[in-house]
Structure 1
Amino acid sequence: METPDTRLTAFGNQLIEVHNWLREELARLGDDVDAHLEGRAERPRQLRAHCLAFCSALTLHHTGEDAGAFPALAERFPELRPVIEQLEHDHLFVADILRDLENLVDGLDDRPPGPEEARRVRVTLDGLAAVLETHFLYEEKKIVAALDGLGSPGDPDFRPPAWLESSKND
């Protein structure tokens, strides 16, 4: 059973788990895109729903980092501020790619796409996958130890990050 102590001390590991889940979902989305582009998919509406769900999950993850985890890390570990600024910049870049992908997938209809349309969708998805993998690896390398270092309620000097405190009042 997960306790508040294990949840906090394993926060960096949770980040890796979320990244792994997002990697898996992106691979599944890629399979769905390929099926549609090759004329093997039944309904583009399902592809659009899957794309929207993935894009929303990734956006929510990045928004949570930007509003919660990153400010807490910057406060506790000021030396990480340049890393956090780079990660926030990455989030903006990824958001632009997500918008492009959503627009491309939204434009697909029941017919198999032409070669140029298929190429644009595939190139955008491949670009997203490459950018995300680089971003995830960098983030994991640079902040996992710091996330785990935020401490736990059992530590005598523990001071919960403000973003954890705010959830108590919701």
Structure 2
Amino acid sequence: MGTATGPNERLAAFGDELTEIHHRLQEELAALRGDVDAFLDGRGGRPRELKEHCLSFCAVLTRHHTGEDTGAFPLLATEFPELRPVLAKLAEDHQLVSGIVRSLEALLGGIAADPDATEAERVRRELDGLTAILTSHFAFEERRIVEALNSLPPGAGTTESLLGLPMDARG
């Protein structure tokens, strides 16, 4: 990581910031999974708190993917045309994730105070699906575009304009 020499220079390159955002999102998803498991096992939380946690995580994740789709991806497609097929695949992943997020939000929005085993299993399956796709998506994205993001000059934008989240956003 370099040191900033002027007011408009970043301390970290955009690709490194992307990796950090992904790490924070994975931590938050693990915390959400812990809360869901505790609730479904009768060990904690109320449906409203669980829904709020889910909505908060889902909003941050959606903001990140929307930022990439409207910020980083168009810029990378212009600067690195050879990445266009990769960027199209990543945008497709974003749509898949969006569908899972909507399904999870609906499930948790209607969850009973004392869910039966079938309802609990449906919620866990959705979370498992979201975890699996995000793990794969984040790893693929980092392998394929971090280097290109790191090569962008500081004036290319801000972390928020390119990646959807400021570096201090914790969701």
Contact 2:69 2:91 in 1 (8 A): yes
State the Cα distance separating 1:161 from its structure 2 match.
Answer: 5.7
Task: Structure 2: state its 5+ residue gaps.
Answer: 163-171
Cα 1:81–1:37 change in 2 (3 A) is same
TM-score by length of 2: 0.86
**Mean alpha-carbon deviation: is it higher for 144-153 or for 11-20?**
144-153
Where do residues 6-85 of structure 1 align in structure 2 (5 Å cutoff)? 6-7=10-11, 10-85=13-88
* Corresponding residue pairs, total: 156
Contact 2:35 2:45 in 1 (8 A): no
Q: Which residue identity does 1:117 align to in structure 2?
A: E
State the Cα distance separating 1:39 from its structure 2 match.
Answer: 0.8
Where do residues 1-170 of structure 1 align in structure 2 (5 Å cutoff)? 3-7=7-11, 10-111=13-114, 113-152=115-154, 160=156
Partner-residue secondary structure (3-state), 1:4: coil
Percent of aligned positions that are identical: 52
State the Cα distance separating 1:35 from its structure 2 match.
Answer: 0.7
- 1-side partners of 2:100 and 2:68: how far apart? 18
Contact 1:44 1:110 in 2 (8 A): yes
Q: Which residue identity does 2:17 align to in structure 1?
A: Q
TM-score by length of 1: 0.86
Deviation >6 Å, runs of 4+: none
- 2-side partners of 1:86 and 1:141: how far apart? 13
- 2-side partners of 1:70 and 1:52: how far apart? 25
- 1-side partners of 2:56 and 2:69: how far apart? 20
Task: Structure 1: state its 5+ residue gaps.
Answer: 154-159, 165-170
- 1-side partners of 2:45 and 2:19: how far apart? 34
